[in-house]
Amino acid sequence: MVAALILVIAFGNSAYVDWASQHTSKDAWGFFLRELAWPNWSFSSDQSVRTIFADDLKAILLIVLAGVFVTLLAGSQLSRARGSMSQFLAGWAAYMFAGAVAGLIAAFVQVNASLLGAFQWAASGVVYGLFVGWIVGLATFGARR
């Protein structure tokens, strides 16, 4: 899924994550800009190796699972429904599911992993998918199969 890959690469890198955390306001636009940074990834950090691996795994899983869920949800549509609003909603929903599952799985790699922590990471993945997934929905809507 190209849209998911672009979102993760463009807004999950360390430079953007640092900028979003330090330079965004506490209004709705600032919230959206900070949400874009949820699947953050990095190659070097002051954090533990397990934390870095968990964040990187979350970003990778988000991209892979977005492709899987978009294929499954879009593939289940009737041929007459393709290209309609249902394709947009399927892409959006697929990104929400991908965020939740990626967060849930990656949380167990985190230092001091717990079931509650996994639920919290899954919840933040759904919130990310809700506010950012419409972009993937638009990309899915525009794609012809």
pLDDT tens-digit readout, 106-116 = 999 988 889 99
* Half-sphere CA count of 120, side-chain side, radius 13 A: 8
* CA–CA separation, 22 and 15 (whole Å): 11
Structure tokens at 26: 């506490």
Residue 82 is given by DSSP the state: T
CB contact at 8 A, 113 and 57: no
Q: Please calculate the CA angle 29-102-108 and round it to the nearest 5 degrees.
A: 115
| pTM for the model | 0.88
What is the model's pLDDT at position 81?
56
Structure tokens at 31: 């919230």
Residue 88 is given by DSSP the state: H
pLDDT tops 80 at residue 80 = no
What are the residue boundaries of the structural domains of the chain, listed by start? 48-142
